[in-house]
Structure 1
Amino acid sequence: MSALIAEAPDPRAVIVAIHGGATKSAYFDCPGHPAASLLRVASAAGYTVLALDRPGHGTSRPHAAEMDATRRVELTYGAITGHLTGLPTGAGVFVWAHSVGCELAVRMAADEARAAELLGLELSGTGLAYQTAAQEILGSHERNAPPAGVRKLLWEPAALYPPGMPGGSALASPTPPGEGAVIRSWPRRDFPTLAPAVAIPVHFTAAAHERIWRKDPDALRDIAALFTGSPRVVVDELAGGGHNLSLGHMARAYHLHVLSFVESCVVGRMHPDLPFS
């Protein structure tokens, strides 16, 4: 599995970043806009960042058809070990995921045998229920390729993003076979089933201008309530943010805000008796 990595010399921890659909690891390096890059902002703050190309993207694309859910989790944990071999990892690994990448991240965090070493989890661009307009476009979607109208859901209002965003080939990655099925089963089956098994701290960010997922108070309470096994669940809404939080004008604000949660997870690992309630 290919990846981008930004090393901090003596890292507080390692952030493993997992991109969403139709993009690649460059999502977290915001081409042409270094101030919005998670890799650059977080490494400057003392965290090594490993942005992976999800299974079926990047160099693993030729093997996409071989990857069921279990295999994707195994490959990702293996890739983390492989890319970080010989590098300092500080307090451990924090997983930061966006959109379709949240499916893989939650599966990793629900893996009882391996997730105990994870520091925490950040999720954005996902949910349990579509907004009405998104349901009309995506609800009966049976193809892997994005249906007509999905660009408006992902990239509008346009004023939230720098001119020229999305950045074409710099960000784009073909959708692997089977990802359509992953998307369809996520909100109604997999997310509700997997989330209760997550036993690490969880941060969930809802973009104020999210157009795919419901983000009303009831919807956000329902999401938080899924994580019954987590010691701490924090749900925030980011003003000025759209679905692609790491590529908009508010990307730096978003990254810095979640980095404070990452740091709290590092401190919690170092001081396990520290009360957070």
Structure 2
Amino acid sequence: MTVTTEAPRRDAAAVGTVATTLDAAGVPLSALLQEPDRTPPRAVIVALHGGGMRAGYFDGRAHPDVSLLRLGARLGYSVLAVDRPGYGRSAARFPQGRTLAEQSALLHAALADFARRYPVGAGFHLLGHSYGGKLALTAAAEDGDSTTPRVLGVDVSGCGHRYADDAVDAGGRIRRVPWTWNWGALRFYPPDTFRSSAAIVSAMPEQEVAEAARWPRLFRGIAARIRVPVRFTFAQSESWWRHDEAATAELSAAFPRAPQVVIDRQPDSGHNLSLGWAARSYHLRALGFFEQCLGAPEIQLAQAPLAVG
């Protein structure tokens, strides 16, 4: 299949944000993009949404402060929020969804296409929420194709390595849980959040639902292969994941090759961090982490101009 990559379409509801399509080895992946104004990007932040959401999760409309795309672009980054395989333009192609390994391969192909058409600066930062965090980790573990700009760091929210006891049944299957597990207290969100978010909610593909239960078994092998800095953020009212001291110590120890593992906590927030009042604070912390990744000696060396003479 040949994908016609669309010229970016400007979204009048969010000045500077454009809708575009990436060619993932013949599979069209829809995405939202915002670039810095009149300057090349320092790097590209690739934002990966969770289950049952879409790329617009990172460009919330309830209040200007919640948009990662706007904030990242103002601070010199291109921000690319991708509809994961099975969502958006690829939903008809993959009605049952794709496994994490399959999504990772498609994402790498899509990023290679993006790099051919847009400046990427030092490379890609991966920022994933919930199921998108699982994909960000998987993609970082499988990074290494020299034809694609490198992954520089991974920032994950709403995802850990061990589900909370109440999240799974005796057979390890994911339970149906109250809506408050995904949102927390209503006061955590701007007043118009639920109405404005209706357009970004999507059915979670069956294959994702099935694979979610296997994540604790998949995680250790994925984490062991990651060689870039990793940061996890747990919301104050995060209910899906264990994030007590013992669990976070075990989580940090699972990355023997990562040069840095950061565990952070976000006060006054629920699972859907990037849609709440805490979004700006969380996004600034993530951007600060990515700045540290850019300052790593190996990145500075790669960016340094060659001496002449």
- When normalised by structure 1's length, the TM-score is 0.89
**Residues 114-123 or 37-46, more deviating:** 114-123
Partner residue in 1 for 2:307? none
Three-state SS of the structure 1 residue aligned to 2:224 is helix
Three-state SS of the structure 1 residue aligned to 2:134 is helix
CA RMSD of aligned residues (A): 2.2
Flag the 1:109–1:243 CA change in 2: closer, same or farther, 3 A. Answer: same
Flag the 1:137–1:260 CA change in 2: closer, same or farther, 3 A. Answer: farther
Q: How far apart in 1 are the matches of 2:219 and 2:70? A: 31
Which sections of structure 2, spanning at least 5 residues, go unmatched? 1-28, 303-309
Partner residue in 1 for 2:77? 47
Flag the 1:134–1:70 CA change in 2: closer, same or farther, 3 A. Answer: closer
Partner residue in 2 for 1:124? 157
Flag the 1:66–1:132 CA change in 2: closer, same or farther, 3 A. Answer: closer
Q: What pairs with 1:123-272 in structure 2 (closer than 5 Å)?
A: 123-135=156-168, 139-141=172-174, 148-166=176-194, 167-187=196-216, 189-268=217-296, 269-271=298-300
Instruction: Work out whether residues 10 and 88 of structure 1, in 8 Å CA contact, stay in contact via their aligned partners in 2.
Output: yes
Selected match of 1:72 from 103, 108, 116: 103
Deviation of the 1:66 alpha carbon: 7.1
Q: How far apart in 1 are the matches of 2:106 and 2:267? A: 35
Q: How far apart in 2 are the matches of 1:171 and 1:96? A: 18
Q: How far apart in 1 are the matches of 2:173 and 2:262? A: 32
- Given residue 40 of structure 1, which amino acid in structure 2 is its aligned partner? R
Flag the 1:135–1:157 CA change in 2: closer, same or farther, 3 A. Answer: farther
**Residues 164-173 or 260-269, more deviating:** 164-173
Three-state SS of the structure 1 residue aligned to 2:46 is strand
- Given residue 169 of structure 1, which amino acid in structure 2 is its aligned partner? A
Deviation of the 1:138 alpha carbon: 10
Three-state SS of the structure 2 residue aligned to 1:178 is helix
Indicate the structure whose relative CO is greater, using CA pairs within 8 Å and at least 6 residues apart: 1
- When normalised by structure 2's length, the TM-score is 0.80
Three-state SS of the structure 2 residue aligned to 1:197 is coil
The one-character-per-residue Cα deviations of 1:73-120 (angstroms, maximum 9, x if unpaired) are 121111122234332111111000010112211111111533981100
Whichever structure has more helix as a proportion of its residues is 1
- Given residue 108 of structure 2, which amino acid in structure 1 is its aligned partner? Y
Q: How far apart in 2 are the matches of 1:181 and 1:116? A: 32
Deviation of the 1:168 alpha carbon: 4.3
Partner residue in 1 for 2:128? 97
- Given residue 212 of structure 2, which amino acid in structure 1 is its aligned partner? I
Q: Does 1:37 align with 2:70?
A: no
Structure whose CA Rg is larger: 2
Flag the 1:122–1:138 CA change in 2: closer, same or farther, 3 A. Answer: farther
Partner residue in 2 for 1:86? 117
Partner residue in 2 for 1:61? 91
